[in-house]
């Protein structure tokens, strides 16, 4: 969350999500969440019961059988069949139950239903990108309610881990391979999504929202989202492109350095080039820099930018230029 607005939304949503959960756990917002909680609580309950039983007996025995003046220790008791059977059979039943509950829940969580809706997930330093079947790329995970959704994850740099507490799912995103997980959301609403694998400086900023849409609204959202160039003001569409098309990795918007020049106060400025000449940063300069990055190398930078020729449509280039104009400070 880079901007103040996003951060406030984030906080509000955090409160929302917590209100619907219990004191101990987040809301059970997926179909497998209740099973996961049940297994957890069963193991926790068994552990707590035996912890208290053992510690209590230990204290009682310490006091009761303490060595006393003038009392000789008696002979050690002999083998007791009944006692040994009890402490073998009861724990065996308990661990078999833990295995049975744990294994069935695990298999349900691992194996996605055949008809699951598929969304591709890319982890990168430091954000999540979700790619939908119609080609739309979004920073948040939008899903329909009551439909199984399978996520296919990978990473372009280091290992990240996608974690949605309300759905009780967590899966690593690993560079050079695909991993997958699935869930079926039960209630429309917004839930928090985290990166749960330490991945560098901004690991803690690698958060997104999961938006669960009501029946019928998801398809409409996806259409509008893919169409954002036509539905949003150009500068706003440009902000979005800046984030999802890779500009943000090298060009800052706050004046800090990177592999490329910052976008802050770029528009309208005179830019000194490596070859000694100077150009005015107008619409045509920015368009050329996007489509033919080798044409005007800015002094002090290496020619490392890939061309966006064929990757960005004309309207998209315009939107990015409009966005860069908004980054001027008078």
| Nearer Cβ to ligand CUA (125/325) | 125
| Nearer Cβ to ligand CUA (119/320) | 119
| Nearer Cβ to ligand CUA (203/245) | 203
Give the ranges where the chain is alpha helix by DSSP (H): 4-20, 33-64, 81-110, 217-226, 228-231, 234-244, 283-291, 314-325
Minimum distance of ligand CUA from residue 159's CB (angstroms): 8
Minimum distance of ligand CUA from residue 158's CB (angstroms): 7
Minimum distance of ligand CUA from residue 191's CB (angstroms): 18
| Nearer Cβ to ligand CUA (157/224) | 157
Among 112, 129, 149, 206, binds ligand CUA (CB under 6 A): 206
Cα separation, 93 vs 36, whole angstroms: 20
| Nearer Cβ to ligand CUA (46/156) | 156
Q: What is the DSSP letter of 69?
A: T
Query: Dihedral (C-alpha) 245, 311, 220, 189: value to the nearest 10 degrees?
Result: -20
Cβ-contact 15, 146 below 8 angstroms: no
Q: Indicate whether 266 belongs to the interface with ligand CUA (CB under 6 A).
A: no
Rounded to 5 degrees, φ, ψ at 79 are -45, 130
Could you write out the DSSP letters of every residue in 244-284?
A: HSSGGGT--SSS---SS---TT-TT-EEEBTTS-EEE--HH
Closest CA to 137 of 206, 204, 228: 228
| Nearer Cβ to ligand CUA (49/198) | 198
Q: Helix, strand, coil shares of the chain as percentages rounded to 5?
A: 40, 20, 40
Among 50, 51, 103, 198, binds ligand CUA (CB under 6 A): 198
Minimum distance of ligand CUA from residue 170's CB (angstroms): 12
Count of residues in contact with ligand CUA, rule CB under 6 A? 9
Cβ-contact 194, 123 below 8 angstroms: no
Segment 127 to 166, residues that bind ligand CUA, using CB under 6 A: 160
| Nearer Cβ to ligand CUA (191/218) | 191
Minimum distance of ligand CUA from residue 314's CB (angstroms): 34
Q: Kindly list the residues in this chain that would bind ligand CUA in the complex (CB under 6 A).
A: 123, 126, 160, 195, 197-199, 203, 206
């Amino acid at each position: 969350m880079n901007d103040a607005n996003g951060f406030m939304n984030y906080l509000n949503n955090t409160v929302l999500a917590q209100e619907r959960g219990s004191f101990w756990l987040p809301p059970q917002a997926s179909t497998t969440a209740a099973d996961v909680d049940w297994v957890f609580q069963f193991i926790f309950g068994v552990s707590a019961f035996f912890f208290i039983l053992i510690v209590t007996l230990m204290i009682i025995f310490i006091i009761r059988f303490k060595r006393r003046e003038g009392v000789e220790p008696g002979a050690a008791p002999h083998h007791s069949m009944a006692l040994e059977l009890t402490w073998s059979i009861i724990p065996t039943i308990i661990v078999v139950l833990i295995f049975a509950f744990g294994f069935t829940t695990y298999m349900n969580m691992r194996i996605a239903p055949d008809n699951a809706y598929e969304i591709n997930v890319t982890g990168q330093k430091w954000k999540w990108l979700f790619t939908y079947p119609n080609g739309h790329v979004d920073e948040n995970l939008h899903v329909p309610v009551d439909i199984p959704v399978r996520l296919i994850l990978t990473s372009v740099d280091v290992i990240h881990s996608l974690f949605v507490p309300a759905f009780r799912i967590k899966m690593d995103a690993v560079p050079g391979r695909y991993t997958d997980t699935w869930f079926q959301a039960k209630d429309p609403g917004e839930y928090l999504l985290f990166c749960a694998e330490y991945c560098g400086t901004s690991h803690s900023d690698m958060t997104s929202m999961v938006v669960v849409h009501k029946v019928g609204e998801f398809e409409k959202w996806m259409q509008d989202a893919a169409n954002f160039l036509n539905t949003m003001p150009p500068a706003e569409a440009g902000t979005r492109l800046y984030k999802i098309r890779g500009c943000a990795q090298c060009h800052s918007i706050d004046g800090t350095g990177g592999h490329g020049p910052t976008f802050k106060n770029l528009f309208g400025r005179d830019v000194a080039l490596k070859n000694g000449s100077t150009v005015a940063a107008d619409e045509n300069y920015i368009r050329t820099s996007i489509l033919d990055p080798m044409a005007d190398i800015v002094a002090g930078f290496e020619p490392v930018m890939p061309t966006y020729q064929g990757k960005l449509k004309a309207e998209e280039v315009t939107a990015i230029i409009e966005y860069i104009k908004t980054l001027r400070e008078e």
